[in-house]
Structure 1
């Protein structure tokens, strides 16, 4: 356990940031799952709506520094390709 006041504060700040990052990552994963379930159900309209929501969530997470821009691009690209298989 840290003894220095600034180190104790850093521990608290890191715990807060970790919780925030986990929540946002979880939300993104949920949106991605919604796209995959819509594609598995062959529901093109629902898949397109879910894709828009997923891309928005990925972009927000990337803006906050949770995902690297290339990782975000890869996720969006794979989801888009998946939805385009229904067309």
Structure 2
């Protein structure tokens, strides 16, 4: 357990940051799941629209420090190639 005032404050900050990051990760995963579901259904237009919505969310996660830039780029690239191959 934290003893100094500084350590106590850092523990509080870490808790709130963890909650915010958890919510962001969950939101991004929801967008990714929508793309996956559209791909599974075979609907190219819905998959394209879902990917267009998911891409900025993923990149926002990068700027907020939830994901690494290469991770987000890899996910977008793989989803885009799968959407493209639906046709």
Q: Distance in 2 between matches of 1:45 and 1:82?
A: 13
Q: Any residues of structure 2 matched to 1:8-87 within 5 Å, and which?
A: 8-87=8-87
SS at match of 1:34: helix
> Aligned partners of 2:26, 2:16: CA distance in 1, in Å?
16
Once residues 51 and 84 of structure 2 are traced to their aligned partners in structure 1, the CA distance between those partners, rounded to angstroms, is 11
Cα RMSD of the aligned pairs, angstroms, is 0.8
Q: How many residues are treated as equivalent by the alignment? A: 87
Instruction: State the TM-score, normalizing by the size of structure 2.
Output: 0.95
- Provide runs of 4+ in structure 1 moved above 3 Å: none
Post-superposition Cα deviations, 1:21-52, rounded to whole Å, max 9, x if no partner, equal 11111111111110010011111111111001
Post-superposition shift, 1:66?
Answer: 1.1
Distance, in Å, in 1 between the alignment partners of 2:70 and 2:58 is 11
Give 5+ residue unaligned stretches, structure 1. none
C-alpha distance in 2 between matches for 1:79 and 1:29: 13
Which residues of structure 2 form unaligned runs of 5+?
none
Q: Distance in 1 between matches of 2:85 and 2:27?
A: 24
Q: Structure 1 length as normaliser, TM-score?
A: 0.95
**Cα distance, 1:53 vs structure 2:** 0.9
